[in-house]
Every structure is written in structure tokens, then in C-alpha cells.
Amino acid sequence: MTKRALDAAEAAAWIRETIGAYAASPENRLRPGGDEPAWGEPLIGFSRGDDPLYDLFKAQIGPFYWTPAEAFAAAFPDRPAIPAELTVLAVMLATLVGVGAGFYPALRAAHLPPVTALKQE
């Protein structure tokens, strides 16, 4: 493995560890002092900036969709980069717990008379 590949692998491992540690921390709670996490274990993915899927997305979605190279050039016009040097990070947070915690009580309250629902807050 080359030094550059090793550095990228180390960076990816650090990012996964850092985001995972936050998801497992007491800061990741629906309410302060509560024990229900707001987010489940995150899914983290990386892709190369020159992945041909980005060009396919642009062709399918339209010219307003930016490829990673276009987004980088717009954000950092004074720092040229070739697409192969860019890495795209995608993080998906499992919100089922958070959505369920809000949706279920709201659904129950929707089936109650309004005065009763307000009393049961």
C-alpha cells in the first residue's frame, strides 16, 4: 500500500471512529438527560470524485446538479483539483428512533379528543 493510500485509509478510519463515537456518546440523546439516542449507528461511505456515476447523475438529473469537481471548484476557486484527488463523504444517520419517538405519540394523540390529548402531554 502506498503512503498516500495509507494516509487515506487512516483518515477514513478516523472519520468513522469520530462519527461512531459521537453516535454512541451521551450527547446523542433525544432529550437532555434521557437515555434514548436520537441517532442509530451511522452508515458512512466514501467515493472518488471521478466516479463515473457522478456524470451519470448529472445527465439524468440535469445541468443544475454539480459533480464533486464542480462543487469543489465553486467552493474553492483558487485551489484547482483534479477529480481523482477528491473524496466524497456520505453519512446517513438512522433516524428511525427519533422519528418514531415523535410520530408514535402524535399518532396516539390524533385519535384522542383534543382536550384529552392536550392534558396527556
Contact 36, 97 (CB under 8 A): yes
Res 29: pLDDT: 83
Res 98: pLDDT: 59
| The overall pTM is greater than 0.85 | no
* Residue 99 within any structural domain of the chain: no
* Residue 73 within any structural domain of the chain: yes
* Residue 42 within any structural domain of the chain: no
Q: What is the DSSP letter of 120?
A: T
Question: What is the Cα–Cα distance from 71 to 75, expressed in whole angstroms?
Answer: 6
* Residue 25 within any structural domain of the chain: no
Task: Indicate the Cα dihedral angle 26, 28, 33, 34, nearest 10°.
Answer: -110
> Which one is predicted more confidently, 47 or 8?
47
* Residue 106 within any structural domain of the chain: no
* Residue 18 within any structural domain of the chain: no
Res 97: pLDDT: 57
Question: What's the pLDDT tens digit per position in 26-77?
Answer: 888 877 777 888 888 888 999 999 999 999 999 999 999 999 999 999 999 9
Query: What's the domain range around 73?
Result: 48-89
* Residue 82 within any structural domain of the chain: yes
> What's the average model confidence in pLDDT over 101-118?
73
* Residue 57 within any structural domain of the chain: yes
Domains contained in the chain, number:
1
